[in-house]
Structure 1
């Protein structure tokens, strides 16, 4: 799964990396991004790519209660094209969720050890995501979820699931504004090769979502 991550780059780095022309409204970096928070995402509106904030935790358009979002921070890519919550979104509401590392907790004899995981050969990257718009009375929410897959050999030692990090040359294809069959989107995700990762241990300071400072990423032996 993916339950916490970081985005520490400055706004200009992000705009250049993802070829975004318009500035990001109210951008702020974070050492400890958690479910329920607003997260930086990129969509294509049919004319251009746009970066803005979505709330992490998908609330489907048909949901009666927005609290369902806390149960839908991740979507299994293997079955998303079949599930009512995700099928339509796989077809036409795909997004990039911008990050530069993510956290995972490895089970050990002493307890769960948090680790910070990064790409070995590049700093900024994007998770494959889905988004939706939910409207009820006077309340409108734009929310998202991160797609996950079975862990690759590197991650298997840490956790059995992992987020899908899109290769640089696949990002624009994922958010292309064309409507596709959900199975086609699923096949696309299955074809994605994962880049090499690196990881190091961090302290339990990161366990609390309220903690959002440099201590979260400081390495320990």
Structure 2
């Protein structure tokens, strides 16, 4: 599962980092500001690139709303959690099926948080991809789905898959991970000519081979009424000081 993300880069930096992979600009109406922690259950905006407009970055409310629920999104979200979609079943679930066929998207992030369980307690881990150019983490793109709520509002969900060896150690209870696409597959994921078998094949092989790093962070991440959208929330802490 992936219920918390980070995107700490300025707009210009994001556009520059993506330039050699997919040429994009932010939509003029985007409200994007860099953030250290977005809790999916607030249904705040993620930034996405859509199939039908692959050169524009749009805001999209986290938690996809299917066509049959757009008349009352709040009621749907009270009953259904669509922050994530299991990649193995997107063509089987009514909430995801239509979007899986023709409304796939790429979702921007440069970090996310996963729970690690020890001695019956959950410890949040910050996961990112450091590099020489960006020691705090490169930009990467999740595979996602989206749908329109109305003419001006989009909604989205992050795809997940079985954890690889690294994330089996981090997310050691749920043993899932978000599907972070290799740049080689960005254009393929947005291709409206893919068949269902081809989409399933892409999800099976599309996870990036680039290594992630993860470290424990403050359990403030799990507390209510604490503003965790601050730089300290990504800083490593000693696990023996958390509880």
What is the TM-score with the length of structure 2 in the denominator? 0.81
What RMSD in Å do the two structures reach over aligned CA positions? Answer: 2.0
Report deviation, 1:216: 0.7
The 1:61–1:179 alpha-carbon spacing in structure 2 relative to 1, beyond 3 Å, is: farther
8 Å CA contact 1:203–1:220 kept in 2: the answer is yes
Report deviation, 1:120: 4.7
Residue 82 of structure 2 is matched in structure 1 by 72
1:82 to 92, 116, 120: 92
Deviations 1:62-104 (A, max 9, x none): 1153133461000000111222221221111011110001101
1:105 paired with 2:115, answer yes
2:38 to 28, 33, 38: 33
8 Å CA contact 1:150–1:161 kept in 2: the answer is yes
1:180 to 170, 194, 205: 194
Residue 22 of structure 1 is matched in structure 2 by 25
Would you tell me which structure has more helix in proportion to its own residues?
2
Report deviation, 1:21: 4.5
The number of residue pairs the alignment matches comes to 216
Could you tell which deviates more after superposition, 93-102 or 197-206?
197-206
Runs of at least 5 residues in structure 2 that lack an aligned partner in the other structure: 132-136, 239-243
Residue 134 of structure 2 is matched in structure 1 by none
8 Å CA contact 2:5–2:113 kept in 1: the answer is yes
Would you tell me which structure has more strand in proportion to its own residues?
1
Instruction: Give the distance between the partners of 2:46 and 2:147, measured in 1 at CA.
Output: 14
* Secondary structure of the structure 1 residue equivalent to 2:25: coil
1:190 paired with 2:193, answer no
8 Å CA contact 1:91–1:179 kept in 2: the answer is no
Residue 45 of structure 1 is matched in structure 2 by 52
Instruction: Give the distance between the partners of 2:45 and 2:207, measured in 1 at CA.
Output: 28
The 1:166–1:201 alpha-carbon spacing in structure 2 relative to 1, beyond 3 Å, is: same
Report deviation, 1:13: 1.6
Runs of at least 5 residues in structure 1 that lack an aligned partner in the other structure: none
* Secondary structure of the structure 2 residue equivalent to 1:117: strand
Could you tell which deviates more after superposition, 194-203 or 97-106?
194-203
8 Å CA contact 1:88–1:182 kept in 2: the answer is no
Residue 162 of structure 1 is matched in structure 2 by 177
Residue 58 of structure 1 is matched in structure 2 by 64
Instruction: Give the distance between the partners of 1:26 and 1:53, measured in 2 at CA.
Output: 7
